[in-house]
Structure 1
């Protein structure tokens, strides 16, 4: 069973980004919702999907506009979509996002 988590860090403030809504779209088109906690993390996808995640291509949307406008007064990005592929390996996948009002990056975390 594959598991999934994510983490959002505000690189301008140097701290976690709390309260960012997340939408995960599965290979079948199903959508799951979440929101980053006080540490900028969300790892409760399993609560929404008890069987874990099958192999396939997923899209994780970070709805960051309201957070960035609230913290910085501006947001170039209304949302950020990260598409990634899970293998059939019973692994843990971590999708972190580093954001600022005018830039972002991501990588496969651990």
Structure 2
């Protein structure tokens, strides 16, 4: 998975990592790397579903208004669908 921030006309990588056995990334983005703006989480779903995955990659774009606030963006994945939401 990687986190990208909108940078002018494109996206710049802020952090990259792999989820733990609980499916989470903890403390992978330094606090000073956060700021208000548009971000994109790119999930490598083929790594979990295999090379024949219908959705080999899922990108979730979201806005950060308050960088000091906790941001939890879960992805619920099945072989032929996914959903995401702003968690608490």
TM-score (norm 1): 0.69
Q: How far off is 1:89 after superposition?
A: 5.3
Change (3 A) 1:61 1:25: same
> How far, CA to CA, are the matches of 2:12 and 2:26 in structure 1?
18
Match of 2:12? 30
Q: How far off is 1:75 after superposition?
A: 1.3
Work out which structure has the larger RCO, using CA pairs closer than 8 Å and 6 or more positions apart in sequence.
Answer: 1
SS in 2 for 1:61: strand
Q: How far off is 1:62 after superposition?
A: 0.2
Match of 1:54? 35
Contact between 1:27 and 1:57, CA under 8 Å: does it hold in 2?
A: yes
Structure 2 residue runs of 5 or longer lacking an equivalent are none
Moved over 3 A (4+): none
Aligned length: 84
Q: Once superposed, what is the RMSD of the aligned Cα atoms?
A: 1.7
TM-score (norm 2): 0.84
Q: Which has the higher strand share?
A: 1
> How far, CA to CA, are the matches of 1:109 and 1:52 in structure 2?
21
Structure 1 residue runs of 5 or longer lacking an equivalent are 1-21
1:83 aligns with 2:61: yes
